[in-house]
Amino acid sequence: MRVLVTGGAGFIGGNLAEAFLRDGHDVTVVDNFEPFYDLGIKEHTVERCEAVAGETDGTYALVRDDIRDADLVDDLVDGTDAIVHQAAQAGVRTSVDEPRKVTEINVDGTVNVLQSAVDADVERVILASSSSVYGKPEYLPYDEDHPNEPVSPYGVTKLAKEHFARVYNELHGLPTVCLRYFTVYGPRMRPNMAISNFVSRCLNGEPPVIYGDGEQTRDFTYIEDVVEANRALLESDAADGEVMNIGSTDNITITRLAEEIRDQLAPELELVYEEAREADAKHTHADVSKARELIGYEPTYDIREGVGAFIEWYEENREWYEPLVRSS
């Protein structure tokens, strides 16, 4: 299968591209290499994908460009069987500071992808959404029928992305499905995420820094579970036109997360608390029963197992990954 992965040099997109290559697919990646964090991590992702392509039957092509260019997207989508649309300007706080830029990338870029997919008669479009679409919880865990009242421009753009996918599915019969990811973590994750930051600080004898009172909760999803959900959708026509949560088996307070990492690496350290950051959701927790029913999704990592796996990877790759984390 010929697969286009937008944002395919990033954390989630890069792990997906690598997995698809291992499955023998021909993968084209487009990524604009936005310097949101140290680009050395993306360069390592590209090197990893090139190495995997050399070991399998799949082919790998990298295009360093931007999905806001409609003509470029038309060219990339032509001849493609499936699109896995991960490209986005990430960062809740970035969206508060630069809402126009985030809207151009996340919404206008998505419309380019969807329109090109219709014109090229693409067989499947899988779009990355986010738990940020929910906003303030009326109840937990969130199911897909929970009201959507995002509390950041980032969440608004993700919700708009879902609505455009629905409209293209209904008007044009484009086979779309949107996945609402809940705080994904794992190898090559962004350095400004809580888990990578806590691990780095503890390994270097520095206390984890928590923003706010630490009682906010998150549903952390290990990257391998996200990969398996996308694989399932790439290999079937299940869930056409649907939106579904992709989360883990539980949620955890940020204080407890920091304690878990601290206890594994540097139990002598004390936690440090600083002022809360604006526009962050207070709580997230996924009900994944819909994904379980439609695609057989079953998260396999709880937070202790996932953190342990990430710490092991971090220590094995510390020589190149840690300097990039600590410089970002």
Which residues are marked as active site?
154
Residue 140 vs residues 67, 134, 177, 216: alpha-carbon distances, Å: 35, 11, 23, 13
d(C-alpha 151, C-alpha 156), whole Å = 8
CB 12 within 8 A of CB 181: yes
State residue 299 phi and psi, 5-degree precision.
Answer: -60, 140
Which residues contact residue 194 at a Cβ distance below 8 angstroms, ignoring those fewer than 6 apart?
218, 254, 257, 258
175: left (phi over 0), alpha (psi -120 to 50) or beta: beta
The residues facing 124 across adjacent strands are 82
Q: Which residue has the tokens 């599915």?
A: 169
Half-sphere exposure of 264 (CA within 13 A, CB side): 22
Secondary structure of residue 174 in the 3-state scheme: coil
Residue 192 vs residues 102, 126, 198, 328: alpha-carbon distances, Å: 18, 26, 10, 7
Which residues contact residue 219 at a Cβ distance below 8 angstroms, ignoring those fewer than 6 apart?
131, 141, 182, 183, 247, 248, 250, 251, 284, 285, 286
The residues facing 5 across adjacent strands are 29, 84
